[in-house]
Amino acid sequence: MGEVDPVFVQDLEHRPKLSVTEGEDIPLIDLSSIINSDENDVDVVEKLVKEIGSACREWGFFQVINHGVPLETRLKLETASRNFFALPLEEKRKVRRDELSATGYYDTELTKNVRDWKEVFDLVVEEPAVVPASPDPQDNNLTQWFNKWPQHPPEIREAWEEYGKEMQKLGLKLMGLIARSLGLGENRFNEYFKNQTSFIRLNHYPPCPSPHLALGVGRHKDSGAITVLAQDDVGGLQVKRKTDGVWIQVKPTPNAYIVNVGDCVQVWSNDKYESVEHRVMVNSEKERFSIPFAMRPSHYTMMEPLKELINDQNPPKFKPFSWGKFFTNKRLSNFKKLNVENLQIYHFRIQE
Ligand X SMILES: O=C(O)CCC(=O)C(=O)O
Options 31, 170, 215, 217; binder of ligand X; rule CB under 6 A: 217
Question: Is residue 175 within the footprint of ligand X (CB under 6 A)?
Answer: no
290's contact among Fe ion, ligand X, none, with CB below 5 to 8 A by partner kind, is: ligand X
172 phi, psi to nearest 5 deg = -65, -35
| 220: enclosing H helix or E strand | strand 217-220
Question: Is residue 280 within the footprint of ligand X (CB under 6 A)?
Answer: yes
Question: Is residue 222 within the footprint of ligand X (CB under 6 A)?
Answer: yes
Burial (CB count within 10 angstroms: exposed 0-12, middle 13-18, buried 19+), residue 193: buried
Q: Least Å distance between CB 120 and ligand X? A: 8
| 260: enclosing H helix or E strand | strand 257-261
Q: Least Å distance between CB 196 and Fe ion? A: 18
**Cβ 245 vs Cβ 300: under 8 Å:** no
201's contact among Fe ion, ligand X, none, with CB below 5 to 8 A by partner kind, is: ligand X
Cα separation of 110 and 7, whole Å? 9
Which range in 80-88, 147-155, 229-237, 263-271 contacts ligand X by CB under 6 A? Answer: 229-237
Which range in 20-28, 214-222, 234-242, 311-319 contacts Fe ion by CB under 5 A? Answer: 214-222
Options 283, 290, 328, 342; binder of ligand X; rule CB under 6 A: 290
What amino acid occupies position 164?
G
Cα separation of 62 and 116, whole Å? 24
Residues binding Fe ion: what is the number (CB under 5 A)?
A: 1
What one-character DSSP code corresponds to residue 118?
A: -
Q: Least Å distance between CB 216 and ligand X? A: 6
- The reply to whether omega before 88 is within 30° of 0 (cis) is no
Q: Which is nearer to Fe ion, 49 or 102 (CB)?
A: 102
Question: Is residue 232 within the footprint of Fe ion (CB under 5 A)?
Answer: no
Q: Could you tell me the sign of the dihedral formed by the alpha carbons of 10, 14, 18, 20, in that order?
A: negative
What DSSP string runs through 135-153?
Answer: S-TT---EEEE-----SSS
**Cβ 211 vs Cβ 338: under 8 Å:** no
Question: Is residue 201 within the footprint of ligand X (CB under 6 A)?
Answer: yes
Options 78, 119, 222, 277; binder of Fe ion; rule CB under 5 A: 222
Residues 231 to 270: which contact ligand X by CB under 6 A?
231, 237
Query: Contact positions toward Fe ion, by CB under 5 A?
Result: 222
Query: Contact positions toward ligand X, by CB under 6 A?
Result: 201, 203, 217, 222, 229, 231, 237, 278, 280, 290, 292
